[in-house]
Structure 1
Amino acid sequence: MAAESKGRQRYVVVGGGVAGVSCAEELARLSPESQVTVVSDSPLIKAATNVVQQSRVLETFDVEQKQGSYLEQRYGNVTVLAAHVTSLIHKEKVVETSDGRRIPYDKVCICTGAKPKLIAEGHPRVIGIRDTESVEDFQRKLEDARRIVVVGNGGIATELVYEVKGCQVVWVIRHTAICHTFVDEGAAVFFLPHLHDDSGCHGDTAELRKRTKYVCEGVGEGREERGEGEKERIGSALGPDWHTGRQMKGRNEGPTHVQVEYEVEVKEILTASQVKSRGLQPSKIGPRPPEEPQLGYQWPIFVALTNGKVFGCDLVVSATGVFPNTTCLTSSAGQTEVELSEEGGVVVDNQMRTSLSHVYAAGDVCTARWTHSQLWFQGMKKSALTSVSSCLPM
């Protein structure tokens, strides 16, 4: 859609992930006379660098974590604000942030990504892995953990189970094989021995080669403590190889033991007193676990599964997927002006336009509402670039 051609255009991009940064970069490049403001929950952003066109439809790139000043230094018309967007007032064409700022726009692109689905919201021992901050939180808690329960069978869960050392791991999946999203059951059986330290296949000698790499820069810098009552801030999604250079070690000595519970889901999260009062017997890791902690009912948290087993542990990692992060589009009354899909994503057309004029969306926050090719799937970087060309002045 064409924007007003008179005066300096004001573009606001909400989100500092790959979609938001790609959108801001293209706007800055194609419309150097405009003012582009990126509003990100975190002072760190994710940028696609070293982009190489390999063929007509294939390109390779690195995903790097940068300080917000990276964009400002590259483009003179880009400003990056580390702030939490609380609302988008469409009638006034204003974006409001938690620190009281009101940022006017001519066009805005929502690139707020997604939030992790947690099996128990607000529980201090149930965490999700989504952004850099949540990984650092997991690392700190893992240091005192003797046993963890990992729920999920996607990419994050698979890499997490492989990387954790010095800790018993109960891996809860609802499929008949691990890595269900990526490999068939035969390949999954082949990979099973690689989960154990004592197999001789764990570590640098068996490092997996990937098509893309993830480079961390400034990890842990510029973090701010949230004030009491302030909403949780969702940082940018992790890139490939997010675990590179990180030590994920529990408090146990000796080899890691991983027990996979197949075709099962979490039924309930329980306390020790609840387990006792219901007459439930804590399940043991088997068949021959190294240095089995004989704690019985003394674990701080218990996970009851649909197969009847109850595992005590120090930490539960909920890696069960994500849902669109549309918090900034929802009013205090729980209503939103923009059209949302049944899954909660912002509905966009083939030009990445939402149901509101001058409001676009890109990345994981979207639900594509057009006739799809059988070979098409929603890609974050592709969506971001498509949205840019459609919101520039004609």
Structure 2
Amino acid sequence: MRFVVVGGGVAGVCCAEELCRVRPQDSVTLVAADRVLKGVSVVVRLSRTLEELALVERRLDELPWPNLQMVQGVAAGIDAEGKELLLGDGRRLPYDKLCICAGARPKQLPPTAFHARPAPGLSEAEAEAERQRQEAELRRRVLTIRDTDSVQRLAARLRGARRVAVVGNGGIALELISGLQGKDVTWIMRHAHIGDAYFDLDAAQFLLEELQQQREQQAQQVAGAQQQQQQEQKQEQLPPSPQEQQQEQGRRQPSDASLANGAGSEDNCGSGKVLGHAVGPRWVQQLLPAAVAAEGGTAEEDSSAVGRVDLEYGCEVACIELIQEGGQPQQQPRQPPGDGDSPSQRGGQPPLLLTLTSGKKVEADLVLLAIGVTPALDWVPPCVERAPDGGLKLNRHMQSSDPAIYAAGDSASCSWAAGESSHWFQMRLWSQARSMGIYAAHCMAGVQEQASSSAPPHMHMGADMAFELFTHVTRFLGRKVVLLGLYNGQRLQHEPASDMATYSRVTEGPERTFVRVLLLRGRVQGVVLIGDTELEETFENLILDQLDVSQYGPALLDPDFELDHVFD
């Protein structure tokens, strides 16, 4: 049997590895456009179905399976009748079963959003050249964000930018906001509250309070650091005592031990580094240090300004243009020259002017775009049926309309889930890409869905179990966020409002927590947990067991209530 898997992301790598494990006698070919693959390295088990993933990058030749062939290339088409995958360089790979895990592309602003305004008085040729120059400059400073963007590239683009506009309201945008410390941020979203895809208004308000507290703490830290620096400068102005002079002279002479240990040697750091970690769930934690390092500074230097976050609800970007020399943005006065100027103004780089659909105008040095993704399937022939969301329409066995073609991850649309899974729905996430890839491998190989004792740790959870209950663990604003079941009322729109109830709880303290539970006719359907609540397993069981807890009412969330007694 010849298995071919397209895609070097989480879904493709997990599918190929699982095929190699369950069908060691068969040939498995993994096709990836890059030599760097993305895989699951570590999984922290929080409950029976809930796992926190850690992603890493691996080289194309690192996967240790003897029956695995690696092909670097770009998929360009499929000969469905001849069962061949066509590559961009003309190669043809025969297959018996093909799994498409080609990922997704970030959505872009429409071309009409970029406005170039050549100065009057130019010739037609000069005006066209100037128009092209401005459009190129606009596109260069609008960075499209996808979870696979490297932190280093993003940090390099942030260099010198004081004012940043973040466009979007999904997971990437939420993570970006917490990573842009020291920047003035305008957060532009078309929804009525933050994190609309993840949270209701109560949870969104809780996270906004967290964001405000973080900014206040940063301001206090900056003030403390500045005060300490002033004290140190005063101390330095005093003449040193004879004892301090002797100590300073001793510090200037390195000991033999420090020389033997290589103290201070740059060769000890990173000399053997080949690849860094993939941009997984905690990628934003590296964003600020990387951005500062790109400027040749330190985190302490960058913290001299905390920055603010302004939110623009219910609007989108209508157009982006460069502010010409001496130009004045409408309805918003320019800042006078001085310390408040952005690096772009000080360095002569013209700021960007964003006009929103609300009519408001916003200045920025850089625009970070995170407005969603679309499956990258333009190379797949139209004979393979699509779903309304753009993914390949699949049956319960991850097969497309062509029985020899399977799909997983962003390429897949699990249309069957709505009728077969009460508490699972599709959302294009790392965790679902992993479970889909493993399950697709089982379907392609025709094996019973079960975890083998020989399976690596990141494949222990049964793939079928992953479709029983929606689970996701991530971090927003540095806080752990757990989503279980129909946490935001997904697929419950047609239920009578009188049959539904929601209870929320905020626990104050050094580590604030938020719990929101959604019930339908007395049975838990979904839960949002923010912070370290240690309630993941309990609510997972309540959703899976569908116990009637209506008798407890809001007491279900009382910190003193013993939830374990519900199962007695």
Q: Deviations over 1:248-272 (max 9, x none)?
A: 3497953132332232322422323
Deviation readout 1:37-62 (Å, 9 max, x if unpaired): 11112211121234466654344543
Could you say which residue in structure 2 is the equivalent of 1:188?
Answer: 207
- Between 1:338-347 and 1:263-272, the stretch displaced more is 263-272
Secondary structure of the 1:327 match is coil
Query: 2:7 and 2:175 mapped to 1: Cα distance?
Result: 26
User: Which residue pairs with 1:366 in the alignment?
Assistant: 412
Task: Note if 1:291 corresponds to 2:340.
Answer: yes
Write 1 or 2 for the structure with the bigger share of helix. 2
1:171 to 1:197, Cα distance in 2 relative to 1, 3 A: farther
Residue 373 of structure 1 aligns with an amino acid whose one-letter code is: S
Q: Which residue of 1 aligns with 2:544?
A: none
* 8 Å Cα contact 2:178-2:211 kept in structure 1: no
Query: Is 1:248 equivalent to 2:291 in the alignment?
Result: yes
| Residue aligning to 2:492 | none
Which deviations, in whole Å up to 9, do the C-alpha atoms of 1:105-141 show, x marking residues without a partner?
Answer: 1111000121111224682222222254454432222
Aligned residue in 1 for 2:380: 329
Contact 2:99 2:407 in 1 (8 A): yes
Deviation at 1:342, TM superposition (A): 1.7
Matches within 5 A, 1:12-91: 12-51=4-43, 56-71=48-63, 74-91=64-81
Distance 1:243 1:261, change over 3 A: closer
Deviations 1:298-351 (CA, angstroms, capped at 9, x unpaired) = 734321112222122222111111111113315xxxxx2210112211111110
Q: What residue number does 1:345 align with?
A: 391
Question: 2:454: which partner in 1?
Answer: none
Confirm or deny: 8 A CA contact 1:163 1:248 kept in the other structure: no
Residue 30 of structure 1: how far off its partner (Å): 0.7
Distance 1:61 1:155, change over 3 A: closer
Counterpart pick for 1:271 among 300, 310, 321? 321
Q: Deviations over 1:161-195 (max 9, x none)?
A: 21124432211123343344445133033123224
TM normalised by structure 1 equals: 0.77
Alpha-carbon distance in structure 2 between the residues aligned to 1:267 and 1:50: 39
Q: Secondary structure at the match of 1:329?
A: coil
Contact in 2 for aligned 1:88/1:96 (Cα 8 Å) = yes
- After superposing the two structures, state which structure 1 stretch, 29-38 or 381-390, moved more: 381-390
Instruction: Give the letter for the 1:260 counterpart.
Output: D
Contact 1:65–1:218 (CA<8 Å) still a contact in 2?
no
**Aligned CA distance change for structure 1 residues 70 and 201 (closer, same or farther; 3 Å):** farther
Deviates more, 1:244-253 or 1:191-200: 244-253
Query: Equivalent residue of 2:379, what SS?
Result: helix
CA 1:284/1:329 → structure 2, altered by over 3 Å: closer, same or farther?
Answer: farther
SS of alignment partner, residue 316 of structure 1: strand
Whole-Å separation in 2 of the counterparts to 1:76 and 1:285: 64
Could you say which structure has the greater relative contact order, defined with CA pairs below 8 angstroms and 6 or more residues apart? 1
Assess if the C-alpha contact under 8 Å between 2:164 and 2:365 holds in 1. yes
Range that drifts further, 188-197 or 89-98: 188-197
Counterpart of 1:185, as a letter, is: A
Q: Any unmatched runs of 5+ in structure 2?
A: 112-135, 223-272, 296-300, 427-431, 448-568
Q: Distance in 1 between the 2:25 and 2:321 partners?
A: 59
Counterpart amino acid of residue 347 in structure 1: K
Give 1:240 shift. 0.8
Identify the residue that residue 247 of structure 2 maps to in structure 1.
Answer: none
The CA distance in 1 between the partners of 2:169 and 2:24, in whole Å, is: 44
Distance 2:221 2:172 in 1: 20
Aligned-residue CA RMSD (Å): 3.3
Note closer, same or farther for the CA distance 1:257–1:244 as it changes in structure 2 (3 Å cut). closer
Normalising by structure 2, what TM-score?
0.55
Count of residue pairs brought into register by the alignment: 347
Gaps of 5+ in 1: 1-8, 203-216, 222-236, 331-335
Paired with 1:258 and 1:12, the residues of 2 have a C-alpha distance of: 49
- 2:329 and 2:185 map into 1 onto residues whose CA distance is 21
**Is the CA contact (8 Å cut-off) linking 2:147 and 2:279 kept in structure 1?**
yes
Q: Which residue of 1 aligns with 2:82?
A: 92
Identity of paired residues, percent?
32
Post-superposition offset of 1:238? 4.2
* Partner SS state of residue 137, structure 1: helix
Determine the structure 2 residue equivalent to 1:208: none
1:260 partnered with 2:310: yes
* Conserved? CA contact 1:129–1:135, under 8 Å: no
Is the 1:13–1:20 Cα contact (8 Å) retained in structure 2? yes
Q: Partner residue of 2:352?
A: 301
